[in-house]
Structure 1
Amino acid sequence: MSPVNVKEGDGPVILGLPHAGTFVPPEVAQALNERGRALADTDWHVDQLYDGLLPGATYVRANFHRYVIDANRDPAGVSLYPGQNTTTLVPLTDFDGEPIWNQPPSTQDIAAQQAAFHSAYHAALAEQIARVKARHGVAILFDCHSIRSRIPFLFDGVLPDLNIGTNGGLTCAALVQDAVWQACEGSEFSAVLNGRFKGGWTTRHYGQPEAHVHAIQLELAQSTYLTAEEPPWSYDSDKALKLRGLLRDILISLADLAPSLNTNPKGTS
């Protein structure tokens, strides 16, 4: 299986999907324990949720699971959230803080998995950003994520439905952040801007507004589109219909912003 699927579009928006994949190489699966092999921390069906929402969008999807290696973590192993519970480049625990390995990966294992999977995903993503920017003068990376709404190991209480991350406004123009925030804030869903999730390594690494590359992450509570946040992690078409309408509006608004961002990378009025 290819580590990455790419669907090229002719528009200015790129959808990144680093955590929707479930492929685990046999040698990695053998080293995981029963809890790890359950793959509970998948961004379940998030690719289905976004499918077909924006004509002309480019899709870059990692096919491998985050337990193999996390495509949204710094390859140098630097924590995204110093001082807070989180998972690492190759997680040793799941989101509940429970061990997922019978035989944890060695330094050599991690290096091999990084070369085969993490590097492949980011090579594909960087190539698409360069292609889209060459065509439009600007590229807008929308990083698509989802997570269970209750995970005490990672955060207190219940996560808002929509969690927008721009690393405090550093990864995109104000126009981009405002467009997404206003749509979310005005919806029927609860929303927060730069709360517990401020944008992962992908958003922070590629988001360079001064260079006409804008990146923004949306972390969805899985309660917004799954029947239940537990196995078998079923997609709920009725719930998803409402959410897909909002996501479609957001993505269209971002595509419409691209010409103004091309002339004004800061995106201020």
Structure 2
Amino acid sequence: MQPVPAEFELFDVREPEQHSIPFVYNSPHSGRDYPQEFLARSRLDGLSIRRSEDHFVDELFAAAPDHGAPLLYAKFPRAYVDVNREPYELDPKMFTGPLPPYVNAHSVRVAGGLGTIARIVAENMEIYRERLTAEEGIARIETIYKPYHACLRRLVARTHARFGAAVLIDCHSMPGNIRLSGSAVRPDFIIGDRYGTSASADITQAALEILEDFGFTAVRNKPYAGGFITEHYGRPARGLHALQIEINRALYVDEATLQKRANFSAMAAILSRFVARMADMSPSLVVTGFEGDALAAE
């Protein structure tokens, strides 16, 4: 198995001084540490390769620990390995040699070029000059994807054991040109709860109302209802809730240059208030009757 490049840090967790609220914040797509060997094998320039990032979302939610919740964030880029996919959504055409039989080669995301090992960045630009070896693709999953999810699972399970409930807020950004279907409305935020299956309606509604109170246009599930993380970790009947939050990145970054806008700090302050307001509902989340690790069956 090929090792992770020596200069490559995988992820980090910012822990609160005291984990005082039943929330975990996660930023799986904000990583911007690109291995040199990966860049050398890409046909894209240094700016284009970054088009799939959720730009600076880890910094936007950096205040989560100040309010009592841990923040997990990726340092590796989504273009290198995407942890918001099934572990083995792989396109056989990207690799030399056979892939294992358990690979999901037929998902919609694989067909679109955005599997666990992506073929393209967000604007349909091919990443690689040549095919990868099957061993390399599997190695990225074993040495990056799996440790990331092991860490996230521990944080969620610890939260659930401590409070009797856990809410995972999966933090993302979306292109500024996203519109609601059949409408000219470009939402500022989209809250995804897998159409009510990954979180209680009260939690989803609270998130929407808080953002609307701040003066934003916030909608639910369309066009982003939540990815693998939201679907996999959200089990409301067991006291495990997962919401995906998508931020219109045009609000805080210049999408042409990927530079922060002058209002970046103000946006981070607003999201700090969002975390605080969500924390206010913590007492209503605590449930009884759940013992041990609610994710133990995984």
TM-score, normalization: structure 2? 0.78
Give how far 1:82 is off.
Answer: 6.8
Give how far 1:35 is off.
Answer: 4.1
Cα pair distance change 1:142/1:3, threshold 3 Å:
same
**Which position in structure 2 is the counterpart of 1:262?**
286
CA contact (8 A) 1:183 1:246 kept: no
Cα pair distance change 1:253/1:188, threshold 3 Å:
closer
Distance 1:5 1:83 in 2: 28
Runs (5+) with no aligned partner, structure 1? none
Q: 1:230 aligns with which of 237, 242, 256?
A: 256
Q: 2:197 aligns with which of 143, 157, 170?
A: 170
Moved more, 162-171 or 36-45: 36-45
Q: How does 1:35-184 map to 2 (within 5 A)?
A: 35=45, 38-53=49-64, 54-77=66-89, 85=112, 87-150=114-177, 159-184=186-211
Q: Secondary structure at the match of 2:281?
A: helix
Distance 2:175 2:51 in 1: 10
Q: Deviations over 1:173-206 (max 9, x none)?
A: 1111110111223442222200011111111110
Distance 2:271 2:107 in 1: 26
Q: Secondary structure at the match of 1:176?
A: helix
Which stretches of structure 1, 4 residues or more, deviate above 6 A after TM superposition? 155-158
Q: Deviations over 1:197-227 (max 9, x none)?
A: 111111111011112111101111111111x
**Which position in structure 1 is the counterpart of 2:25?**
15
Distance 1:48 1:225 in 2: 11
Distance 2:194 2:45 in 1: 32
Moved more, 92-101 or 81-90: 81-90
Letter in 2 for 1:198: A
Distance 2:279 2:13 in 1: 19
Cα pair distance change 1:223/1:158, threshold 3 Å:
farther
- Does residue 24 of the first structure (1) align with residue 34 of the second (2)? yes
TM-score, normalization: structure 1? 0.86
Moved more, 209-218 or 256-265: 256-265
**Which position in structure 2 is the counterpart of 1:6?**
13
Give how far 1:139 is off.
Answer: 1.2
**Which position in structure 2 is the counterpart of 1:250?**
274
Distance 1:27 1:86 in 2: 21
CA contact (8 A) 2:67 2:275 kept: no
- Aligned residues between the structures: 260
Give how far 1:107 is off.
Answer: 2.5
When Rg is computed on C-alpha atoms for both structures, the one with the higher figure is 2
Moved more, 206-215 or 157-166: 157-166
Moved more, 3-12 or 64-73: 3-12
- Does residue 200 of the first structure (1) align with residue 200 of the second (2)? no
Q: Secondary structure at the match of 1:15?
A: strand
Distance 1:98 1:23 in 2: 20
Q: Deviations over 1:70-110 (max 9, x none)?
A: 01111132688679956221111111112111123332221
Q: Secondary structure at the match of 1:114?
A: helix
**Alpha carbon RMSD of aligned pairs, Å?**
2.7
Calculate percent identity across the aligned residue pairs.
Answer: 28
Q: Secondary structure at the match of 2:191?
A: strand
